[in-house]
Amino acid sequence: MVVVTGAAQGIGRELARQFAAAGAVAVVADLDFAKAEAVVKEIHEAGGTGLAVQVDVADESSTEAMVDTIVERWGRVDVLINNASVFASIEKGPFDQIPLSQWEKVLKVNVTGTYLCVRAVAAHMREAGFGRIINVSSDAVTRGTVNYLHYVTSKAAVIGMTNSLARELGGYGITVNCVRPGSVATEVERTVNPTVEVRERAAALQCIPRGMVPTDLVGIMFFLATPASAFITGQTIACDGGYTHSS
């Protein structure tokens, strides 16, 4: 049982599809229920098992209702991938010109949303004595991307949260790790984020000089979700084609 938030499109959609193809029950959790159902239809047509659940990750009651629905249907939550975030619609600009409303929205979804989803599944994972929590950060954190302070701050907070949660939950057989992707090309329309030219320049600086796509994240997600990674926790792993080299 793998729960992927923000799975109606982009990276989350591909992760849900690939986990289902590998034999897992994939929960496609997203605010856009119609799109989530469309992804589940794709999963079913490919012979997999999926469930669409509407969730607002920034709302406490919504995340709790999501987990209640899953547990009622399937009896457990094995893996949580905190993929949902505000990104494509973010307006970039100097830090002192970011509207406070946008600052608060980004942190509420990207940070509080991650926290609330972990809190909602934690009791069930503790009871089972097993759990895999995988948070998603960004290589923008290590690069200190300019004019993007709200997003960078939110994704840096996710790394700190991962470190602390790993210590709090490790004694229950629950691992908490973080994946730090590079710039991933998806079908999601981005009006203010990197253009094709910017992506091409970034790819040229990678050790693997090609554009990153959602399937590039599947291997590391599979590894962190399985017993093979049972002794790995509190880690942030870069998956960016070698754009960055720091830990």
Which CATH number is 150's domain given? 3.40.50.720
In a domain, 117, yes or no: yes
d(CA 169, CA 244): 29
Note whether 182 and 240 are within 8 A (CB). yes
Q: Tell me the pLDDT band of 101, cut-offs 50, 70 and 90.
A: very high
d(CA 196, CA 82): 27
pTM of the entire predicted model: 0.94
In a domain, 37, yes or no: yes
At 27 the three-state DSSP class reads strand
In a domain, 28, yes or no: yes
In a domain, 246, yes or no: no
Strand ranges inside 107-172, DSSP E: 131-136
In a domain, 232, yes or no: yes
For position 211, what pLDDT does the model report?
A: 85
For position 214, what pLDDT does the model report?
A: 93
Note whether 118 and 175 are within 8 A (CB). no
151 part of the active site:
yes
Q: Name the burial class of residue 223, with classes exposed (0-12), middle (13-18) and buried (19+) by CB atoms within 10 angstroms of its CB.
A: middle
Count: domains in the chain: 1
96 contacts: CB under 8 Å, gap ≥ 6:
none
- Residue among 148, 151, 172, 243 flagged as catalytic: 151
Domain, as residue range, for 36 = 2-239
Q: Name the burial class of residue 69, with classes exposed (0-12), middle (13-18) and buried (19+) by CB atoms within 10 angstroms of its CB.
A: middle
Q: What is the pLDDT of residues 77-99, one digit of tens each?
A: 999 999 999 987 888 899 999 99
